[in-house]
Chain A
Amino acid sequence: MNDLVEIKDLKRSFAGKKALDGMSFSLGTGKVVGLLGANGAGKTTLFRVMTGLLTKDSGSVKIDGIAVGAKTNELISYVPDHFVFGGFRRISTAIMYMKRFFSDFDEKKAESLLSKLNFTPDQKIAALSKGQKAQVQLVLFMSRKAKLFLLDEPLAAVDPATREFIIKTILSTFGEDNTVLISTHVVMDIELILDEVVMIKDGKVHLQGETDELREKYGKTINEIFKDEFRFVEGGVDNE
């Protein structure tokens, strides 16, 4: 059986600067995986290559055995690090958009989650705060029945209550048939829900493994391992 994500010797550079420098790793299904790395490690570039938003220089990326393209878009639900529904007037129009373009979008689930957060469909998007926008966006993308969820820095710049909601949403969406890959440098908050971590540094995989195994091997928490591994990265470390 194929791995859900299969990345081999992936390279991508921007104006001579190597963002991904021969990255290779694979992921199976039914996991919540943390993609950990300092700022500029290549997390966002990796997600954008995986979703076809950026082209690769060389190497290969396969999702469920299929090379990145229109077909893999059916399998991936990508939650970017910035708000993408800014052009919509109301939450209901954003829901309509998702329903229109993604046949695996579960409208009822989205409405139910939004209602739990006290959002109403006729609420104007422009009037939402940054945290509220992050919540709405997460709900909309996580309401797809995708095979692979890519969450780019979902915990950055949100209050503790929103963080808790995000984690709950991830757990409610996650199942045996899908995998959630979360990029973050705020490890402490999500450590407990991670099954596996992929630590990247300088565009390469620095460390990969099951969280339990890593904890046992190093005798530390994932957060501590992460801090130790990235402490001397040039340009500083994100120590939360």
Chain B
Amino acid sequence: MSDMVNMKRKSGSRPALERFVLDLKKYGLLGIILPIILLIPSLIIQLIWISYDKIVIKHGIDTSIGNGRLLDPKMFSSGERRIIKILEYVLDEPPLVRGVMWAFTIVVMLLVAYQIADMFKSFFGSNSALVLATPCSKPILLMSKFLAASVTSFIAIGCSEFQWVFLQGALKWDGSSLNLMSFRGLQGFESNWYIKFDLKWESTLYKFAMFLFIWLGIFTILAISGKLQKLVKTPVIVVTDIVLAFVLAWAFMYLMEMQSGVDVLPALFMIPCVLLLTDILLVSKYDAVTVSA
């Protein structure tokens, strides 16, 4: 090999970075562009909420938490009434709001499905001969793909979460928002309005930690699959993978429903760390090709 070629050889980290950028682009439409577009309506609503906060301050409305209070609609100007009417409409979760929420769910599901399929294709599929031919170690390659998948997933889920937060009330810097528990006028706009405030704080970190757990779980399944290849046939591995993925998804749903407190966060971050180490150890010594092997 000539010295020139030697000098030009890329180091192990460069192909990993290239892989990260390439995957980021690949997942970008579902993981970044579409979620940001879907976030635009709720961003507009958020601006209206900010205007509403100004109205509350302007009229000196008592915003202490938990107490309902009656207000005379005549104290608001027509513009202010329009703002309040829009927010009342949004809080009723009209089809438009529900539609955007569903769209978010579909986008996130498609993204995860695409990322899993891409992962399988890259490490086990027919083009693994191309992906794994790059001068980069398997664990680093795995980390690059994982990071690209995580970044895009976090953006998609983050947008989905923020969409909900933006619709609920004017977001404060500390992550809280003054949430209107009840808003509806008792007898329409001509009568008094009953308004009840609630201060809300939701940790999106919790959801991110759960997502990290799921992702690394999927990687662990992939890594274990590689090890299993020597012992059992590919269809058995595929079926096992699918069953494990369902169990993992179920565990995710269960934990989301049952453990909504933020105190489980440290544990939730510990599990992904352990899974990540497992993945790196397993993936470094696994078989890539199952297709036509």
From B9, B15, B129, B138, contact of A84 by CB (8 A): B129
Interface centre among B2, B285, B288 (most CB of A within 10 A): B288
Q: Contacting chain B: which of A67-75, A154-162, A163-171, A210-218? A: A67-75
Contact at B10–A103, with CB atoms within 8 Å? yes
**A1 proximal to B (CB < 8 A):** no
- Tell whether A177 pairs with B133 under 8 Å between CB atoms, given A55-B287, A74-B9: no
Quick one: closest B residue to A77, CB to CB? B133
Quick one: closest A residue to B1, CB to CB? A147
**B21-67 interface (Cβ within 8 A of A):** 22
B residues less than 8 Å from A97 (CB atoms): 22, 130
- Tell whether A51 pairs with B133 under 8 Å between CB atoms, given A103-B10, A104-B8: yes
**A86 proximal to B (CB < 8 A):** yes
**B204 proximal to A (CB < 8 A):** no
Whole-angstrom distance between the Cβ of A235 and the nearest chain B Cβ: 18
Whole-angstrom distance between the Cβ of A43 and the nearest chain B Cβ: 13
Contact at A52–B132, with CB atoms within 8 Å? yes
CA distance A97 to B289 in the complex (A): 20
Contact at B289–A54, with CB atoms within 8 Å? yes
**B176 proximal to A (CB < 8 A):** no
Interface centre among A45, A53, A82, A102 (most CB of B within 10 A): A53
Quick one: closest A residue to B226, CB to CB? A55
CA distance A75 to B137 in the complex (A): 14
**B232 proximal to A (CB < 8 A):** yes
Contact at B129–A80, with CB atoms within 8 Å? yes
**B143 proximal to A (CB < 8 A):** no
Whole-angstrom distance between the Cβ of A123 and the nearest chain B Cβ: 19
Whole-angstrom distance between the Cβ of A176 and the nearest chain B Cβ: 11
**B250-293 interface (Cβ within 8 A of A):** 285-289, 291-293
**B84-143 interface (Cβ within 8 A of A):** 121, 126-130, 132-138, 140
CA distance A76 to B136 in the complex (A): 13
From B138, B291, B293, contact of A14 by CB (8 A): B293
Contact at A14–B129, with CB atoms within 8 Å? no
Interface centre among B9, B15, B128, B135 (most CB of A within 10 A): B135
Query: Which residues of B come within 8 Å of A, CB atoms?
Result: 1-2, 5, 8-10, 12, 15, 18-19, 22, 121, 126-130, 132-138, 140, 230-233, 285-289, 291-293
Query: Which residues of A come within 8 Å of B, CB atoms?
Result: 13-15, 44-45, 48, 51-55, 57, 69-71, 73-78, 80-87, 97, 100-104, 145, 147, 177
